[in-house]
Structures are given as C-alpha cells and as structure tokens.
Copies of this chain bind each other. A is one copy, B any other.
Amino acid sequence: MLRLTKKADYGLMALKYLAEQTGGSAHSAKDIAEAYHIPPQLLAKILQTLAKGGLLVSHAGTNGGYALAKPANEITAFEVIRTIDGPLFITSCITIHGACDLTSTCTIKEPLRKVNDSIKDLLSGIYIADLVEPGDAERSKHAVGGGLVSIAL
C-alpha cells in the first residue's frame, strides 16, 4: 500500500546528489548512476522527466549534464514525486473525478480527501536541502505549520 514508485525514489537520490555537489557545474546522468549503482538508462529517463518538469536544467554535449534549476531549499519532495509519478493520489476519485463510478454513493470520499491533503502537506514540507544534511531542526522552519500537520476529519 501507498508504495511510491522506484522512479521517484531514484529521482530524489539524484536530486540530493546534485544538491551536494555545490560545484555548480553540470553532472552527467552516468556519473550519478554510477555513484549509486542504479541503471544508467533508467536514471537518464527520470532526469529527462525532471528536466521537462522544470526541476532540472540540462546541458548537452561534452562536459554536459544536469544541474538544479532552483536552490535545493526551494524544491520540495512533493514536486519531485508529482513530476515523476504524475498527479495521481491515494484514491481514484481525487484527481480524475470520473475515475470511480461510485462517487455518488461513496461515503468515505471526503474523509479520504482530507487524508490526502495531509499527506500532500507532509511531503510539501520536505525539501531537498533537508536530505543532504542529516542534521536535525532549524531547517524545519520551511515546514507547513511549523513542521506539524494537523489531521482533522
């Protein structure tokens, strides 16, 4: 349940890698793939998707590669996941309204929507910058509601 795809997983790793390399210059997909031992071609595809989504900037040719399009502390995990896996959410009815033919009779639609929003807020409070340093507090100032996500049905 609630499994997030491996593509998104790899995507986050790549983002983190790029965030660590403050050198500024671009890093090739191959480099990142080798650093973490993930299938190079697959990661290339993921990076393409991220570039198309505006989270990365690509630079072709010799010494080319990818670089972050925005500072690491302005990219949320939610953006990354949504860009890679698409905007689909925990229930079929939330994004595509006609997906579930029970929308009329269903009674748990609204509560689940709340849960959905809570998770979304949770992910939106996590930034790439939070991943690079395993340090604790301080950065959480970004987090929604001061790092607390309320769940009230």
Contact = CB atoms under 8 A, between A and B. Distances in A.
A96 to B, nearest CB: 12
A6 interface: yes
Contact of A13 (B90, B108, B134): B108
B2 A119 contact: yes
Interface residues of A, number: 58
A60 interface: no
A131 interface: yes
Contact of A143 (B9, B89, B108, B151): B151
Nearest to A92: B6
Given A122-B151, A125-B151, 15 more contacts: A2-B85, A3-B91, A6-B100, A9-B91, A35-B105, A37-B102, A37-B105, A38-B102, A107-B131, A110-B134, A119-B119, A122-B122, A130-B153, A131-B153, A148-B148
